[in-house]
Structures are given as C-alpha cells and as structure tokens.
Amino acid sequence: MKPQRTYIRTLDRLKVSNLAARLIGNIQRILPPDTAMFHEAILQAGAPDAGQPMRYLPFNRQIHRDGDLITALSLVVLFNNPAMERFILKGVRERISRLVYKFSFNNMDCFIRSVRLDWKLLQIMATAPGEFSIMGIVQRDEVQRKRLIRRRCRYIYPLLLIPTGDKTSYDYILQFEKRHTIPKIKIPLLPLYRSGSHRIEK
C-alpha cells in the first residue's frame, strides 16, 4: 500500500518557512535572491489548504542589473504537490481551457495552464519530498550587439522551484522552462516589443 502523504497545515509557519528557505535558495541560478522579501511573501500567503491545488502569492518583485542584462523576478504561485496528479487538464477541461486561453495575454495564466497540461511535470511535483512547489515569472532584458547593430531582446519564462534532488527531474524542469520561454524584440523608436524567434541561453 502506498504510504499516506502528510500535509503542511496553513498555520504551521515553521514547516512552511523551512521549505520556503530551501526553495528560495534555488533562485541563485537566476539572480542573487532577495531572500527576506520572497520569504515574507510565502509566509504571508501560507501553504495551500489540503483541498487547494494552488495558492497565489502577494505582490513581490526583484530587479537585478548586470551590465546590459536586466533580470526581474516575481514569485506568483504555490502549488500543492500532493494534489498535482489531480490537477491535470485533459478531455473536455483541456479543450475548454484551450479556447479560454487562446487569446490570453496573461503570462501567469498561460504558464499555469502549461503546468497543468504536462503530465510528467505534475508527477515530478506529486512525488517530490516537500509539500509545495513555487512558480515564478522571469523577465530578462538584454542588449545584443553585432558590429554597429544593437538589438534589445526580452525573454519571459516560468521559473519552477520544486523540492527534488533527482537530476533527471531537475533537467526536465529546466527543459520545461526553456520550452515555454516567450521571446520578444523591441520595436525601434517605440516602447513596445514584438514576438521574436531568438531563444534564451540559460
């Protein structure tokens, strides 16, 4: 018989705090994290209740500048890992969501939907040795220079912080992030970006 998964109660701040600290440490691969700010956002929200598949986080945003590279990160959602296998979108629900999000410009909703459509990723989360995972949204602006040409590019992608030490799972998480990267190129003389074809090098 499969062992019963325990679950963090919303008010168990110590357990939430400890797992949050572990996951926030993994942000280092994107930027040096503002640990206190992200930690406070997670504690303020609390872990999802046992019947909740996810819980939204209060506003938080860190901007990091490194030469021509500007990286912005917001943590947006806590996923309830034990509930992830029931979070899959399929059949009628999948078709309805496809119609709803076809014209959506909300990156967070689109990334959540992408998570719900990826059965392998949901299994990684459901079997992870921790009660919740975190999704953030990264916006990376960079200047690409080639001789006298200077092009401003923007990449928007989901950041998944899942408590797993398995290398195969970790590699799949990185592939998921890269697969769902949205590339954009700045329109000259305008504060607007159009869809681009360049892929981010992570």
φ, ψ at 111 (rounded to 5°): -70, -40
The answer to whether residue 159 sits within a structural domain is yes
The answer to whether residue 65 sits within a structural domain is yes
What is the pTM for the complete model shown? 0.85
Q: What is the per-residue pLDDT for 87?
A: 86
Domain region containing 185: 13-195
Residue by residue, DSSP assigns 149-202 as: EEEEEEEEEEEEE-----HHHHHHHHHHHHHT-EEEEEPTTSS-EEE--PPP--
The answer to whether residue 1 sits within a structural domain is no
The answer to whether residue 8 sits within a structural domain is no
Which element (helix H / strand E) includes 140?
Answer: strand 132-146
Q: What's the structural domain count of the chain? A: 1
Residue labelled with tokens 């399929």: 90
| Ordered per-residue pLDDT tens for the chain, 202 residues | 444 455 555 447 888 899 999 999 999 999 999 999 999 999 999 888 888 899 999 999 999 999 889 999 999 999 999 999 888 877 766 666 666 666 667 899 999 999 998 999 999 999 999 999 999 999 999 987 777 777 788 999 999 999 998 999 999 999 999 999 999 987 776 776 678 765 555 4
Q: What is the per-residue pLDDT for 78?
A: 97
Q: What is the per-residue pLDDT for 106?
A: 87
The answer to whether residue 202 sits within a structural domain is no
Q: Taking each helix axis from N to C terminus, what angle separates 91-101 and 107-117, rounded to the nearest 10 degrees?
A: 160
The answer to whether residue 182 sits within a structural domain is yes
The answer to whether residue 88 sits within a structural domain is yes
